[in-house]
Structure 1
Amino acid sequence: MLSTAAHNGVTKKVTKPKSKSHSEHLMKRVSRACLHCRQRKSRCDLDSSGSPGTPPCQRCLRDHRDCVLGSSNRGGRRVRKPKSSSHDMDSSSSPAKVMQLAPNSTPAPAEPPRQFSRPYQPDHYGRSDPPTASTVNMDDDDSASTTDSAIGSVPRNPSDAWQCLTNVAKRGAEIANIEKAGDHYSESTRRVKLNGVQEGQPDSGIKAYRLVKNGSLTRENVSQLVARYANNFHPYLPLVPRKYFDPAALDSFASQEKHLLTAVLTIATKDLVDTPGYHEICSKYMHELISGIAAGADCDVEAVEALLLLAEWEPQGLRPKIEAVGRGEEDRAAWMHVGLALRSGYFLGLDRTSFRNDPGNDAQVDGRKRLAWTSCYISDRLISVRIGRAFWSRGPGPMTGLVSKDFPSLQPLTTAEEDYARIFQALLDLTQLYGNVHDVLYSGMRTSNQMMLMGDYVKYVDDFRNAIERWNRLWGTLNCSPHIKVTLQMSYEYLRLYTNAFAFQAAISQALTLKPKEDAHSQREHLRATFSSVASMQDARFIYASVDAAKSYLTILVNSVDPEKHLHFMPLRYYLYSIYAAVFLYKARSFGIMNAEEERGVRLLINDTTKKLHRASAGPDDIGSRYARLLELLWKPKSSSSSSDTQELLRKDDNVPAGALPNTRLPDQPYMQYSPMNDFSWLDLEAVGDYVSGYQIGNPNMLGMNTGTYQQHGPYPANSEAIWPVQNWQVDPNGNLLF
């Protein structure tokens, strides 16, 4: 006799006479039952027809019902491939469909189907097909399987475990909200006005965006600013998904990407002179969102992208004070924004997208995250190189080898579009060289000094020079728009300068070791004598290459970049590279390595550079005008170095239009006006600002000189107090090289 304990149409235990051939078959759990027996939660005997395991069952045969065989739901959302049978689903059907045997005629059910109050919730981890008659009733094992699938993979650390539990809790909260909303749905649909608008319906899309909801901006304003950003700023850093540049997608942009949209609006309004209130409004909201991210507010990849965009352009509205002369404040702000983006990216797990080992994930989502994380790496390397600080990011990974095809959102859809994927790959390869140069040559004060004095730097500089030239041969002929290609050329020239300038500093350090105990005047004369014949020096090729790279960068800026159409919209690093190059030439000239004719050419080049910077500025407070004033003060001739002239250049004159500052003729000056012992680095713009403003710079160990003696030899303004280092002037306490 057969005894069973049935539940949900599944036979739990089977006992029968001990027949070995048949006992193995009966020990297996049977999960097949007809729909009628499943509804009654009773045992379904499919052996009554003479064909074991096939309908009709004994109950349907007795009640004269059509016996419809249901499918197995064991295993939660996992769909198994059915075995081939005359009653099974055809093998060509989709796996997401449910196996069901359809009779010739539809019988009237004896009992109404059971209604479930819990609505259907699509599973994020499995199929999203709506439930059917054969999938409503599930075994007890299904709930456990669904929970396991919601948790996902095995947690690797406490943070992963916490995130898994959070996902399960969120799903439960969402289901509860849907049930609550379903109870009141019928009531809300009845509250309809005569014009057809639901009463009390909340705003959504762009209407719910803060700046539109409070009346600061209109939908048309936002759409115009997004279009302005897409045309002028986006080509230099294409992080914003291109779908959001469609006006029809403005609602989804505002509802799903508020951090990114606010960053776009803040950057797009930063140079609007006619409507300055827009930039103030957008900056305040952006500042609030950044504060929320820093405080641990929930955010996604779009917040990381927003921070990276701000770091590249650094709108003035985000800073509490704007100096009349640039002093590197933008670098400091960019350093903080990139750091916050990296921390957020690590927390969101963006670094895991660097490895292409999960083909089951959404390629579009992974592509966007990979692009954002790679941009974090690029921004981190470039800002660290500019300010001389250590890296924060570990990078995409040594075995990744990211190429253009890894960034699908940047690939052109038509032949007429820009191939941003290849441009991005070129910048990524160049950034890797930047990082290697910084890690090896500029890794730290002690390491750099030892390398300079021992001469180990020569082989590294030569290797880096060869690698840089290989990059130029590979990517220098890249087919792209001229205003995009010129940014790659400028980055290439600055990397040449950054690499070869280290050897210039090494030559200075080696020369100073020969007279370590002399006073400042003797050291100055010794350095002039040493560099008076650069061709005879061991590092002559590096010194010449560094000066050539600085002049080449400024030449590209002056001759190949339109100040109003292109330079005005370029990321700030291209402005600052020009300032670094100009300061480097000032330092190099003070050593007397230029003859009179070359010096006149350099002075004219600096003069043209300041004109370009003024023309590229939207006003006197813009980045171009502020740093043009810095160069004007630095390269100012001795005859105009009085305190009144200095204060005149430092004063902000709102009535003077951009580019209308007087074109002062720069006369030839004797070498002795400039001292190679000026204690500021060409990589430290804050110290350069102190230098031209007449502030005291240096450290407490420096020995002061009287003002009268100093004015004969130094380029400080007449009202400044001279201070000269006595020993170890080639590095400062912070570890910055002082060349």
Structure 2
Amino acid sequence: MSSGEQISSPKKVEKPKFRPGSGRLMKRVSRACLHCRQRKSRCDLDSSGSPGTPPCQRCIRDGRECVLGSSNRGGRRVRKSKLTATSSMESKAVQLDPGSSTSRSDSHVLPANPYPGANMFGRSDAAETDSIAADDDDDSGSITDSAIGNGVPTNPSDAWQCLKGIAKRGTDGVDPDTSQGGGISAPGVASANGSPNGTVDPGGGIKAYPLVQNGSLDPETVFELVARFAKHFYPYLPLVPRKYFNRSNLDEFASTEKHLLTAVLTIASKDLVKTPEIHEYCSKYMHELISGIAAGADCDVEAVEALLLLAEWEPQGLRPRVEHVGRGEEDRAAWMHIGLALRSGYFVGLDRTSFRGDSGDSTNDARKRLAWANCYISDRLISVRIGRAFWSRGPGPMTGLVSQDFPSLQPMEPDNEDYARIFQATLDLTQLYSNVHDVLYSGMRTSNHMMLMGDYVKYADDFRAGISRWEKKWGSLNCSEHIKTTLRMSYEYLRLYTNAFAFQAAISQASKRKNDDPSSALSQKEHLRTAFSNVASMPDARFIYESVEAAKSYLKILVESVDPEEHLHYMPLRYYLYSIYAAVFLYKARSFGVVQDTEDTKEETFVRHLVAQTTERLKRASAGPDDLGSRYARLLELLWRPRSAPTVGSPEIRLNNEMELSTTMAGLLPDANYMNLSPANDFSWLDLEGVGNFVSGTGVLGVQPFFPTQDRASMWQPPFWAGDMAGSLLF
């Protein structure tokens, strides 16, 4: 036999196989007509007398045109959006079968799959096409078996995916994901609420956007707010696709990405003093959308981006009440929004884009990768701010993401900002934050043990070297001055966060020595001040000095390099809160005598002046008396103001229009020399609510009056939102 005869051989003899559940042997064949293939039933092409040629027995019996399908074997088939010649023939064959109720409009469209391993136990479309089912009386069984496959579901979600595949084949090919009332949409699949890959609804657009439809806003106002966001807020967190800053794409923005658009409008309107009703309308609708996400409503990557944006700015309209003095409410709200973004991101599969080389639409995958990387950054930074454990595993150091992995941030013109490089610098710095938190602030028991044993020294030195290397690499990054300033501020706060741990270790060691020596006549307060009377002779002097220097450097950048009205006003809230933490840290360092006036230096006077300038900048950056900057400036004023002697007055705590303490309150707070410290019962420098309670006398349940005969330390209660470290650590 020649080679040509071997190639043209119609089929080879195969061993009959037993099909479970069918009760009989089944001979596998490699060819089938389109009608039998579409029914997932056995095709008998031997009825015409010529083996392997049409018509088959079923088509003869039903009086149908029998068209032989091409072989789908021979390696991986790349599916295209346009129909090939073969698929055109298949469509023609399906149209010629008016009695078929199971025909699909496009047999080559892969079903949506929102879970990482949803197909691990089922067959792919290609496998289903190649498989040969039983004959007529076993058609329903063949459909079910094909959907279930041979694997075992590993969780309820896998079982649900299996049942969804069966239901899909029994409803004329209607995909449960895209039908009305379906569950959460798969990544990159258009849904009822719209998605990044969805098309604009012809009857939708900006006029169908709820805030425009109900008359709260008009299309021009919406675009003005979008343009305002692009100019002032976008540079600090470039998550919104830049195409939406074009007026011609406003309809698409409103139709497909309502969560993201509403977040943009809410943030852009938060400081509009002359038209506060706009922010009220946007906030109310944003609150409804967030509630829907929390309740399990359909969402995609744009909802995750919206939550991340809100966490960076936390508009006041989303909170039921605004306190006159900042107490860290923004941290609590950001914690919740970031947590919701992370869980939503996991559910729609954003974490699968962390590694390069995954299949799928490259543009959409790049957007998802950027969103997931920002989830990682936000999770690390909020955990560092409030002393909580991480939620997200994140991209991690093993992924090695660089600026080229974020094409949407690449400059579009030669003179454009290179947001990709800025983002890479932020990602590298965040990894350092993550490592410091993981090693030094991993938990109270571990941290306390490390402090007392002295193991932290080698870690702190290594982290300081890593921070220095980051500064050498990225300190001269070519970008706008106000963007470079935010990187410098983040760098200085990381120095403070790292070295403050050693400062706290020195305090813990001194406290332990006092507890181990009950014969000492000194009080705890006197013992601590004596221990820190000569910092230069302490083993941890380099850490203590650098932590104080980092706190002062951060405030100096804020005072000297940031324009309050042009830049600080629009910066994410973390840069405001970093300044508060730095000022509170300096207050506590002063209470130990580390910061004080001497004959040679007037360090305490300088620090007081620096804090006063900081409060002035925060006020200038505020849109009103209840804005973020004003509220926390008021907190610092109450903390750092000199205390006067007790005078006769009302025992209740009152704040007048200028938010000054009553004379009774002023007399009961610590004097100008030092704070009455108690290592076991004091507020943490990361616990802004504890600081607020300290300066205003507010307990957990509300405002409590102080009486001259009572000791303040005995009345103070740990705040409800105290961080993990606040119960036993001063810093």
Quickly say closer, same or farther: Cα 1:638–1:366, change in 2 above 3 A: same
2:687 alignment partner in structure 1: 684
1:261 aligns with 2:261: yes
2:385 alignment partner in structure 1: 386
Q: CA deviation at 1:94?
A: 12
- Cα deviation code 1:582-601 (max 9, x no counterpart): 00001111111234211111
220-229 vs 525-534, which deviates more?
525-534
2:606 alignment partner in structure 1: 601
Percent identity between the two aligned chains: 63
Within 5 Å, which residues of 2 pair with 1:644-659? 650-651=655-656
Consecutive unaligned residues of structure 1, counting only runs of 5 or more, are: 1-9, 15-26, 34-40, 58-67, 82-92, 103-111, 127-137, 182-200, 657-668, 699-704, 709-719
1:120 alignment partner in structure 2: 105
1:737 alignment partner in structure 2: 729
CA distance in 2, matches of 1:604, 1:388: 29
Question: Which of 128, 150, 162 is the matching residue for 2:160?
Answer: 162
CA distance in 2, matches of 1:28, 1:589: 86
SS class of match (1:515): helix
1:98 aligns with 2:85: yes
Quickly say closer, same or farther: Cα 1:672–1:32, change in 2 above 3 A: closer
CA distance in 1, matches of 2:594, 2:331: 30
2:447 alignment partner in structure 1: 448
The residue type equivalent to 2:235 in the other structure is P
CA distance in 2, matches of 1:29, 1:573: 64
Q: CA deviation at 1:204?
A: 1.0
2:591 alignment partner in structure 1: 590
SS class of match (2:606): helix
**Does structure 1 retain, via aligned residues, the 8 Å contact 2:168–2:175?**
no
Q: CA deviation at 1:608?
A: 0.7
Q: CA deviation at 1:413?
A: 2.0
1:637 alignment partner in structure 2: 642
Q: CA deviation at 1:78?
A: 9.4
Q: CA deviation at 1:244?
A: 1.5
Backbone CA RMSD of aligned residues: 4.6
Q: CA deviation at 1:397?
A: 3.8
The residue type equivalent to 2:635 in the other structure is L
Quickly say closer, same or farther: Cα 1:508–1:263, change in 2 above 3 A: same
Q: CA deviation at 1:298?
A: 1.5
SS class of match (1:619): coil
Within 5 Å, which residues of 2 pair with 1:546-557? 546-557=547-558
The residue type equivalent to 1:254 in the other structure is A
The residue type equivalent to 1:737 in the other structure is L
CA distance in 2, matches of 1:646, 1:578: 32
**Does structure 2 retain, via aligned residues, the 8 Å contact 1:77–1:146?**
no
CA distance in 2, matches of 1:152, 1:411: 46
Q: CA deviation at 1:676?
A: 4.3
1:723 alignment partner in structure 2: 713
Structure whose CA Rg is larger: 1
Q: CA deviation at 1:394?
A: 1.2
CA distance in 2, matches of 1:159, 1:404: 35
Q: CA deviation at 1:152?
A: 14
The residue type equivalent to 1:683 in the other structure is L
1:270 alignment partner in structure 2: 270
CA distance in 1, matches of 2:503, 2:605: 22
Q: CA deviation at 1:436?
A: 1.1
CA distance in 2, matches of 1:241, 1:731: 36
Q: CA deviation at 1:69?
A: 13
**Does structure 2 retain, via aligned residues, the 8 Å contact 1:418–1:481?**
yes
2:575 alignment partner in structure 1: 574
1:4 alignment partner in structure 2: none
Quickly say closer, same or farther: Cα 1:235–1:154, change in 2 above 3 A: farther
2:696 alignment partner in structure 1: 693
CA distance in 2, matches of 1:484, 1:551: 20
Within 5 Å, which residues of 2 pair with 1:233-272? 233-272=233-272
- Cα deviation code 1:444-494 (max 9, x no counterpart): 111111111111111111111011111111111111111111111100000
CA distance in 2, matches of 1:377, 1:518: 51
Within 5 Å, which residues of 2 pair with 1:205-604? 205-358=205-358, 360-516=359-515, 517=518, 522-596=523-597, 597-604=602-609
Quickly say closer, same or farther: Cα 1:400–1:157, change in 2 above 3 A: farther
Quickly say closer, same or farther: Cα 1:247–1:588, change in 2 above 3 A: same
Question: Which of 67, 72, 80 is the matching residue for 2:69?
Answer: 72
Q: CA deviation at 1:357?
A: 3.9
Question: Which of 590, 615, 625 is the matching residue for 2:630?
Answer: 625
Q: CA deviation at 1:73?
A: 3.8
The residue type equivalent to 1:431 in the other structure is T
Q: CA deviation at 1:344?
A: 1.1
SS class of match (1:326): coil
Q: CA deviation at 1:284?
A: 0.9
CA distance in 2, matches of 1:101, 1:216: 50
CA distance in 1, matches of 2:152, 2:362: 22
**Does structure 2 retain, via aligned residues, the 8 Å contact 1:620–1:652?**
no
Q: CA deviation at 1:243?
A: 1.6
Consecutive unaligned residues of structure 2, counting only runs of 5 or more, are: 1-9, 15-27, 35-42, 56-64, 90-94, 112-128, 134-138, 180-200, 661-669
TM-score of the superposed pair, with normalisation by structure 1: 0.73
CA distance in 2, matches of 1:307, 1:605: 35
1:186 alignment partner in structure 2: none
Q: CA deviation at 1:29?
A: 5.4
Q: CA deviation at 1:270?
A: 0.7
**Does structure 2 retain, via aligned residues, the 8 Å contact 1:384–1:390?**
yes
SS class of match (1:216): coil
Quickly say closer, same or farther: Cα 1:594–1:354, change in 2 above 3 A: same
TM-score of the superposed pair, with normalisation by structure 2: 0.74
CA distance in 2, matches of 1:398, 1:300: 26
SS class of match (1:513): helix
Q: CA deviation at 1:515?
A: 1.8
Quickly say closer, same or farther: Cα 1:520–1:429, change in 2 above 3 A: farther
What is the aligned length?
A: 616
SS class of match (1:638): coil
CA distance in 1, matches of 2:268, 2:355: 34
Quickly say closer, same or farther: Cα 1:174–1:472, change in 2 above 3 A: farther
CA distance in 2, matches of 1:633, 1:733: 24
338-347 vs 316-325, which deviates more?
338-347
Q: CA deviation at 1:310?
A: 0.8
SS class of match (2:582): helix
Q: CA deviation at 1:549?
A: 0.1
**Does structure 2 retain, via aligned residues, the 8 Å contact 1:209–1:255?**
yes
